[in-house]
Amino acid sequence: MNLTKRFEKAAKRVWRLKERPDDMTLLELYALYKQATEGDAKSPRPISGGMVGMAKWRAWRKLRGTSVEDAMERYIAVVERLMSGGANPSPS
């Protein structure tokens, strides 16, 4: 199965988790997903969205320069760990 299909499958599987991941893992998943689907964060710092919006933007922005392929691989790895009941990985 090619990387894009594995990534899309992982993006669907993450919704079937039995437990909600901790906030840091959710931020990591969000940032990796955005990096994989949109590339580097080019938008200016968000004005609306409050602290959550700012945290999400900062997490994504930290991945600047990460290739789409690397972001997909890392996203898949996080989802696989979560699906297997493994400990939540620390954010990169």
pLDDT at 92: 43
pLDDT at 87: 54
pLDDT at 48: 73
d(CA 35, CA 28): 10
pLDDT at 49: 73
Ramachandran region of residue 39, left (φ > 0), alpha (ψ -120 to 50) or beta? left
| Gyration radius (Cα) of the chain, Å | 13
Query: First vs last Cα of the chain: how many Å apart?
Result: 26
Run means of pLDDT, 10 residues per run, the chain, 92 residues = 95 92 95 96 78 92 96 97 71 44
Domains (range + CATH), the chain: 3-83 (1.20.80.10)
pLDDT at 1: 78
pTM: predicted TM-score of the whole model, two decimal places = 0.86
